[in-house]
Chains A and B, each alone.
Chain A
Amino acid sequence: MKVLVPVKRVIDYNVKARVKPDQSGVDLANVKMSMNPFCEIAVEEAVRLKEKGVATEVIAVSVGPTQAQETIRTALAMGADRGILIQSDTDVEPLAVAKLLAAVAKEEGAEVVLMGKQAIDGDNNAVGQMLSQLLGWPQATFASKVEIAGGKAVVTREVDGGLQVLEVALPAVITADLRLNEPRYASLPNIMKAKKKEIAVKATGDYGVDVAPRLKVLKVSEPPKRTAGVKVETAADLVSKLKTEAGVL
């Protein structure tokens, strides 16, 4: 069983995004970039499936600039077998990303697409669901537990107010939530080995997908700032201020 794992190069989780003064976007020059944390969880899960003998091959695919090869290398160092970079120097919207991934999933004959539920830059939480729709495959999003056997996946999902269990027939699209696993750190020998693994470089045009943006970004601005209020000395002060000044008790 082939598992396809889409990965995205994004601003590092620990770096605060800063808006450019001309409001044209977020400043990514000289900013540390890493693999999107939800993608890391998806790679980990796919590699575990291979270690358990459920998956035969794990393919990491990324849509992004040349530097996204580094992100694919990270996936290869974690245990993915090979990579595909669909190169694009401009931002590709989730709908077009889903179309590109659908083409790759079909071409590769993947039986499971395992991916992060959302990227921490655009925060769309949309590609997995759209991919499932485009492929006509079942979806199981926000997974906190995945069990694959007998051509089916039983997926525990994190929903508002609790957990839901779904059974999906393969091929299917599964998106990872935070508690699915704790991704490993790649060992030095595996990082060295990853350098020899193959990354195929493709263009968006190779898949016949129109990646022209549908949305026009008019501006990117700073959110309104909250200002620090006052420090109170005691819990009793606090309660009295909440009652009289703020009027919320």
Chain B
Amino acid sequence: MAVLVVADSDNAHLRDTTHKTVTAALQMSGDVDILVLGQGADAVAAAAGKIAGVRKVILAEGADVGHGVAEAISETIAGLMGGYDALLVPATSAGKNFAPRVAAKLDASPISDVIEVVSADTFVRPIYAGNALETVQTGDAKKVLTVRPTAFKAAGEGGSAAVEKVAAASATGTTFVSEEMVKSDRPELTAAKIVVSGGRAMGSAEEFQRVIEPLADKLGAAVGASRAAVDAGYAPNDYQVGQTGKVVAPALYIAIGISGAIQHLAGMKDSKVIVAINKDADAPIFQVADYGLVADYKTAVPELMAALG
């Protein structure tokens, strides 16, 4: 069987969510191609060709696909699916936006957020905010999956796949107006090796910035937040870690003033090492933490900064 993986990029850089999705694809089949959708994305296609195990790279360029317009992307993909038995898409907000459309077009039942490939037709995915894992088998001739990148190791480099260009579709009823990306020198939340997250205990946006951000910068970490902190307006929405936000799996996750609601745990419980700092010794976060410090963050964070030197 042949598998098509859709690359995740910002038109300039290939994200390693692509490499992780390729790993899932290689567990299904040896015939894996990558589709790069974008505009001015030659560098992305070249980088995709270097991923080990990839057969070829298809580059589809156009204004609408470059802006991530789902109608144009799904139409472009559907036009290519004649040559493939499965489509694998990184489960990012962009991927979730178009993958189900392709499934509907192919009359397939999509499988979202795959965390394990059992066989070429059987997959494991979390349901109920990660409180249960469902193993499903599909009989669809063309399979459409989104893959949770944090659940797979990144495929290595060393490939030399050729790049083939195809035409990208455009959208008719949907027009891109603008986008406003948060600019930051910090690593991206889902790709960071260390994540420092703050919760509702911060009490205000000023306190969140005063406490969480310097610690993150000292560690070269990304900044995260619980949904409670985001809902209270202490942190922007794209900081949110959890079932309804981002799913992260860094080497080190430091939760400060976060109680550990189920929905937050679903977004970070696959981190390698979890540290919790909370003044409530009974907070559920301590049940998943490798290292717990029962202390008020107001004293613990300055001490931590000092200990880090």
Contact = CB atoms under 8 A, between A and B. Distances in A.
B96 A125 contact: yes
Interface string A223-249: 100101111111110111110001011
Contact of B93 (A93, A159, A168): A159
B133 A235 contact: no
A3 to B, nearest CB: 18
- The range of chain B's interface size is 35 or more
Contacts of A121: 127-128
A124 interface: yes
B237 A158 contact: yes
A216 B206 CA distance: 50
A159 B175 contact: no
Given A130-B100, A130-B103, A134-B104, A19 B137 contact: no
Contacts of A161: 181-182, 188, 238
Interface stretch (A42-50, A138-146, A199-207): A138-146
Nearest to A223: B133
A9 to B, nearest CB: 14
Interface string B98-112: 111101110111111
Interface string A192-226: 00000000000000000000011111111111001
Contacts of A67: none
A129 B110 CA distance: 11
Contact of A95 (B94, B103, B243, B303): B103
B68 A215 contact: no
Nearest to B272: A248
A246 B110 contact: no
Interface of B, secondary structure class, is: mixed
Contacts of A164: 67-68, 176, 178-180
Contact of B173 (A17, A168, A242): A168
A1 to B, nearest CB: 16
Contacts of A129: 70, 96-101, 104
Tell me the interface secondary structure of chain A in the complex.
mixed
Nearest to B131: A17
A134 B104 CA distance: 7
Nearest to B194: A248
A178 B173 CA distance: 25
B214 interface: no
B74 interface: yes
B126 interface: yes
A97 to B, nearest CB: 11
Given A160-B92, A162-B181, A220-B134, A238 B111 contact: no
A98 B269 CA distance: 32
A120 interface: yes
Contact of A231 (B70, B92, B98, B292): B292
A127 B291 CA distance: 40
Contact of B135 (A163, A217, A235): A217
B100 A126 contact: yes
Contact of A19 (B132, B171, B286, B306): B132
Contact of A214 (B93, B139, B294): B139
B245 to A, nearest CB: 9
A115 B37 CA distance: 28
Contact of B174 (A160, A163, A166, A215): A166
Contacts of A98: 104
A29 to B, nearest CB: 15
A120 B288 contact: no
A172 B173 CA distance: 9
Given A129-B98, A238-B291, A248-B273, A216 B130 contact: no
Contacts of A169: 173-174
Residue from the set A120, A131, A142 with the largest chain B CB neighbour count within 10 Å: A120
A107 interface: no
B71 A139 contact: yes
A167 interface: yes
A165 interface: yes
Contacts of B67: 164
Interface in A13-59: 16-19, 26
A122 interface: yes
A214 B304 CA distance: 52
B290 interface: yes
Contacts of B213: none
A160 B293 contact: no
Nearest to B175: A167
A215 B272 contact: no
* Residue picked from A26, A131, A134, A238, most chain B C-beta under 10 Å: A238
5 contacts: A168-B175, A216-B136, A221-B132, A229-B292, A231-B294
Interface of B: 67-71, 74, 92-94, 96-101, 103-105, 107-113, 122, 126-140, 171, 173-182, 188, 190, 194, 219, 227, 231, 237-238, 243-244, 246, 251-252, 262, 269, 272-275, 286-295, 300-301, 303-304, 306-308
